[in-house]
Structure 1
Amino acid sequence: MYDKKMFRVVVASLSVLIIMMASIFIIFQWQYRSINYTNIDMADVADGIYRGRVDTLLLKVEIDVEVEDHKIKNIEFVDHVTTYEEVGEHIVNKIIEENSYQIDVVTSATASTKVITSAVNKALESAVE
């Protein structure tokens, strides 16, 4: 009797956990796919420091983008919940190197790449408005 009751509790708990995890995954995928970009010409971006922020259910990033002579000079994380810090640094270094938020996705960090590049895009977008 006790074993059947415990089994039912465990199965019910696991079922709820699986449903919650699937819901989180579906919501995150929807948010991830809804990230869009505005086409920015760096020639239109004046010198300055601009802030961009993107929030999804699992990944959040707020960055300051420093522009000098129409080039991305520096990107600093103000706040972030992404993958490993080294991955974030690798992504921003690629953005600075290519002077564009339109970089190739970093292997095993697809979502982080998209969230960080979108935050950079939003920062640069605020520069040309």
Structure 2
Amino acid sequence: MKKKILIILLCTILFVLIGASLYLKRLVNDVNSITVSNLNMANITDGIYVGKYSITPVYVEVEVTVTEHKITNIKIIEHENGLGGKVEKIVDDVISRQSLEVDAVSGATVSSKCIIKAIENALQSGSK
């Protein structure tokens, strides 16, 4: 009887590990497929724009303020982040560099890329 329980427990653990491995592989592929275009700010009219992006388990919604063709503020409206909460400082990098070409925060690549992609989506809505 104990042998049977042990075999069932080991099989359950094996299935969980295989499922987690497949999920992580899919997540890595999804993240690697994200492309971000650095938009020409001269083509973006002044205003406040909202952008969204998600890859399970991360969902991001941002509000981007553009003044005189420069990003002057980025507010994270919503960030369902799985594990990467400290990544939100990446918006400071985008503002200071006036570019979407910023490094992802180590240990929070999925959230970093989702935030940057949401910013891009917001800016595209203000593009001429």
TM-score in terms of structure 1 length: 0.88
Q: Confirm or deny that 1:25 pairs with 2:36.
A: no
Q: Provide the identity percentage.
A: 31
Query: Aligned with 1:97: secondary structure?
Result: helix
Q: How does 1:46-57 map to 2 (within 5 A)?
A: 46-57=45-56
Give the C-alpha shift of residue 35 in structure 1. 1.0
Question: Unpaired runs of 5+ in structure 1?
Answer: none
Question: C-alpha displacement at 1:101, in angstroms?
Answer: 1.4
Matched, 1:116 2:115: yes
The equivalent residue for 1:125 is: 124
| Alpha-carbon separation, structure 2, partners of 1:75 and 1:35 | 20
Residue type at the aligned position of 2:100: Y
In the alignment, structure 2 segments of 5+ residues that lack a partner are none
- Residue 93 of structure 2 corresponds to 94
Distance (whole Å) between structure 2 residues aligned to residue 51 and residue 30 of structure 1: 26
How many correspondences in the alignment? 127
C-alpha distance in 1, partners of 2:75/2:32? 25
**Structure 2 length as normaliser, TM-score?**
0.89
**CA offsets per residue over residues 75-117 of structure 1, 9 Å max, x none?**
11121122443321x1011111111111122233322221111
The alignment's C-alpha RMSD in Å is 1.6
